[in-house]
């Protein structure tokens, strides 16, 4: 089943303790779409400026990502993010953000996209996420991501969003911030009680947790010795997870857990190089091969 | 098979964000021995002062822990530790340490103990750990724990110890300190290359990692909503792990992974109350029941 993702596409400058890359392809929707494309056709909704390299659009198309919803806004500039990783490669500082074209991002989905059954609302203002949701009345599975900025400054909109979506994906510090509870097991269920049927808490190098009314579980990250750039790991997680769900066409507990595992593995490849460079080298078979190792790792 | 543990027994004062407990039973060997006692007979080697409450010795004996090696030193005081947990319940500050009787701890094992096949050297000066090792020439499986103090100030002794033991258990920050590598997968193998056949890195609420020449894996912590006091979680992990290995009488890869899981679950009970209070309430069946849930959680 096709999967629609609405979110940011960006040009990133990334400093790691050993290297710097400037103006590489980034943005939550880029990582999400690329990771999801191993599983299902993806329809990308985003906006860029006229500084956007056409080769990046070509890269999306080469992986069956429909860019009909990627608007190039004349006279505008593409969203830019600059960040620096601490030596532990898990914590980072944002050095600069230029929202640019995202200052006015309020997408109108192509008509064909509005009939989607699987919809992912990547990180963005909850009011915008809600307006996208309203354009897709027939969606069977709607999942959103959020961040500290909106938890702190758009709490009412976020609360309204949470009552309307099936799933929320957020990271550990955001879950603590949203609930005021430092225990992630309690925090996950507290977020779930705000509306969504399921909640996923991403813990970076420590894996991800899943919460539904009847289930609580943790899956560890795949232990890769080769962490080059963690940017986009969480978005790749979302893409692998939602891509697999859309491919399977259901969201039963068993499918959701497999989807969590595929999200984990998509993220494990992403961190092995800058930008989408590692994902560009792999095929679905590589994900499946790593899945076999991952299952073996967790069985005893 | 009987399991010998050599390490500290202490009186702890613990401050959590919501509660304080004074002079409760603590110490690495206490937690270790109690957790291991669900699986195998345990022989405890430690020292206390004449302020030691006899009821704590009785508590050990009630669980088939042989206290013939628990020396009460006249005129000495028991080791005391005071610590305070930060709101995240994973990080802590040590407020006060009084080594007391451990200033002169250089144990001579009861003759029967020296014939042990399974030996655990809980946290202590590596020179002392080495001297204990030499008293047990027939041990088939020797595993040690260590800490930042000895990594920083007894590096040569620690290096000598690492060449003599089968396994090392340490926490994530200690593994990074010992190897200078922030990536735990690489750090784990780097420690292994210093001598031990296997290395276990404990990550607190994020689980534990295992490294041998042919295996690298991570098991997540059991997600408990009820973290009251994390003191002793790592030592309980070691006790559950070594207790299961001694019970099984082997240390094949399959047994080691099951042992990692039992260690994880022993720790998950320990954190649910202060001191040994939660462990005191459970039986082996409770560990086995939680093991079933844990296996289910990790299978998909």
A252: contact with B, CB 8 A cutoff = no
Q: B249 — contact with chain A (CB < 8 Å)?
A: no
pLDDT for position A90: 83
Q: What is the 3-state secondary structure (H, E, C) of A40-86?
A: CCEEEEEEEECCCCHHHHHHHHHCCEEEEEEEEECCCCCEEEEEEEC
Q: What is the pLDDT of residue B110?
A: 96
Q: Could you tell me if A149 lies within 8 Å of chain B, comparing CB atoms?
A: no
Contacting residues of B for A263, CB less than 8 Å apart: none
List of chain A residues whose C-beta atoms are within 8 Å of the C-beta of residue B261: 300
H/E stretch holding B36 reads: helix B28-36
Subunit contact A227:B183, Cβ cutoff 8 A:
yes
CB distance from A300 to chain B under 8 Å? yes
Residue A100 is given by DSSP the state: G
Whether B293 contacts chain A with CB within 8 A: no
Q: Please report, in tens digits, the pLDDT of each residue of chain B (300 residues total).
A: 999 999 999 999 999 999 999 999 999 999 999 999 999 999 999 999 999 999 999 999 999 999 999 999 999 999 999 999 999 888 899 999 999 999 999 999 999 999 999 999 999 999 999 999 999 999 999 999 999 999 999 999 999 999 999 999 999 999 999 999 999 999 999 999 999 999 999 999 999 999 999 999 999 999 999 999 999 999 999 999 999 999 999 999 999 999 999 999 999 999 999 999 999 999 999 999 999 999 999 999
Averaged pLDDT, A260-285: 98
Q: Mean pLDDT for chain B?
A: 97
Give the model's pLDDT for residue B7. 98
Q: Per-residue pLDDT tens for A208-230?
A: 999 999 999 999 999 999 999 99
By the 8 A CB rule, do A126 and A161 touch?
A: yes
Flag if B300 and A257 touch (Cβ within 8 Å): yes
CA distance B273 to A79: 49
CB contacts of B88 in chain A (<8 Å) are 182
CA distance B149 to B143: 19
Per DSSP, A180 falls in state S
Residue in chain A closest to B225 (alpha carbons) equals: A185
- Going from N- to C-terminal start, the domains of chain A cover 3-297
pLDDT (tens digit per residue) in B266-298:
999 999 999 999 999 999 999 999 999 999 999
A-chain residue closest to B257, CA distance: A300
Give the closest residue to A134 by CA, choosing from A165, A167, A156, A103.
A165
Model pLDDT, residue B90: 82
**A155 inside 8 A of chain B by CB:** no
| A97 interfacial to chain B (CB closer than 8 Å) | no
Is the Cβ of A220 closer than 8 Å to some Cβ of chain B?
A: yes
Q: Is the dihedral angle over the CA atoms B240, B244, B250, B256 positive or is it negative? A: negative
Residues on chain A touching B227 (C-beta within 8 angstroms): 183
Query: Could B183 and A218 be called an inter-chain contact, meaning their C-beta atoms sit closer than 8 Å?
Result: no
CA dist., res. B151 & res. B159, Å (int): 9
- In whole angstroms, give the CA distance from residue B242 to residue B44: 13
Q: Residue A228 in 3-state DSSP?
A: coil
Q: Quote the mean pLDDT of chain A.
A: 97
- Chain A residue with minimum CA distance to B217: A297
β pairing state of B167-171 and B198-202: parallel
pLDDT 10s digits, A152-201: 999 999 999 999 999 999 999 999 999 999 999 999 999 999 999 999 99
- Distance between CA atoms of residues A119 and B269, nearest Å: 40
The topology (CATH level 3) of B3-297 is 3.40.1190
């Amino acid at each position: 089943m096709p999967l629609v993702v609405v979110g940011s596409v960006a040009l990133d400058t990334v400093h790691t303790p050993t290297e710097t890359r400037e103006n590489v392809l980034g943005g939550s929707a880029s990582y999400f779409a690329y990771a999801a494309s191993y599983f299902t056709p993806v329809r990308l909704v985003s906006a860029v400026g006229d500084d956007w390299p056409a080769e990046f659009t070509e890269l999306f198309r080469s992986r069956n990502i429909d860019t009909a919803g990627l608007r190039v806004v004349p006279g505008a500039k593409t969203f830019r993010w600059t960040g620096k990783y601490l030596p532990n490669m898990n914590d980072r500082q944002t050095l600069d953000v230029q929202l640019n074209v995202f200052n006015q991002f309020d997408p109108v989905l192509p008509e064909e996209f509005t009939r989607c059954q699987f919809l992912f609302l990547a990180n963005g203002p909850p009011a915008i996420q809600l307006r996208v949701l309203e354009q897709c009345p027939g969606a069977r599975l709607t999942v959103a991501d959020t961040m500290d900025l909106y938890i702190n400054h758009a709490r009412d909109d976020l609360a309204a969003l949470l009552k309307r979506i099936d799933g929320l994906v957020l990271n550990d510090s955001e879950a603590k911030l949203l609930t005021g509870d430092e225990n992630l097991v309690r925090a996950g269920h507290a977020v779930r009680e705000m509306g969504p049927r399921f909640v996923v808490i991403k813990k970076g190098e420590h894996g991800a947790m899943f919460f539904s009314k009847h289930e609580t579980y943790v899956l560890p990250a795949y232990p890769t010795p080769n962490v080059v750039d963690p940017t986009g790991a969480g978005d790749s997680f979302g893409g692998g997870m939602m891509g697999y769900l859309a491919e399977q066409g259901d969201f039963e507990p068993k499918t959701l857990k497999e989807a969590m595992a595929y999200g984990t593995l998509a993220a494990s490849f992403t961190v092995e190089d800058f930008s989408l460079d590692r994902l560009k080298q792999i095929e679905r078979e590589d994900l499946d091969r790593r899945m076999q190792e991952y299952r073996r790792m967790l069985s005893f």
